[in-house]
Structure 1
Amino acid sequence: MLAKLDRLLSYEMKVSEFIGTLIIIGIPYGIVGVVWSITHTAHLRSLHGIDVIVSFLGSILCWPVLLFANVTMT
């Protein structure tokens, strides 16, 4: 078990491979975040100006936390 973990952690990646991995993970995360934010806009009605934009972008980034909070609050 430790040998497999050591082999996994000693793997060297190029910067381009890191960027590709981040893109592969980031695109679905962003899509789900946008869908979550579009379907949960009730909190934006009381906001005005730049606060709407910041709150919307924050909900895109933090959708996993908001999903958990929504499940546990109801």
Structure 2
Amino acid sequence: MLKRLDRILGYEMKVSEFLGTLIILAIPYGIIGIVWTLTHTSHLREMHGLDVIISFLGSIVCWPVLTFSNVTMT
């Protein structure tokens, strides 16, 4: 078990491979965040101007936390 873990953690990647992995992981995360935010916009109706934009982008980034808090608060 430790040999497998050491082999996985010892794998060397190029910067371009890290960026590619980041993009592959970020696209589904962002899509889910956009869908979640578009279906939960009730809090945005009370805001105006720059506050709406910042809250919308924050909801996209923080959707896992907001999903959990939405489930536990209802």
TM range (shorter): over 0.9
Residue 19 of structure 1, CA deviation: 0.4
SS in 2 for 1:45: helix
Counterpart-to-counterpart distance in 2, 1:33 and 1:12: 31
Give the CA RMSD over aligned residues.
0.4
- Extract structure 1 runs of 4+ deviating beyond 3 A: none
State the partner residue of 1:47: 47
Counterpart-to-counterpart distance in 2, 1:46 and 1:70: 18
Counterpart-to-counterpart distance in 2, 1:13 and 1:51: 40
Counterpart-to-counterpart distance in 2, 1:5 and 1:40: 40
What CA deviation, in whole Å up to 9, does each residue of 1:26-63 have, x standing for no partner?
00000000001100000001101000000000000000
Unaligned ranges ≥5, structure 1: none
One-letter identity of the residue aligned with 1:9: L
* Matched residue count: 74
State the partner residue of 1:27: 27
The aligned runs of 1:1-74 (5 Å cut-off) are: 1-74=1-74
TM-score, scaled relative to structure 2: 0.98
- What fraction of aligned residue pairs are identical, expressed as a percent? 74
Counterpart-to-counterpart distance in 1, 2:10 and 2:73: 42
SS in 2 for 1:23: helix
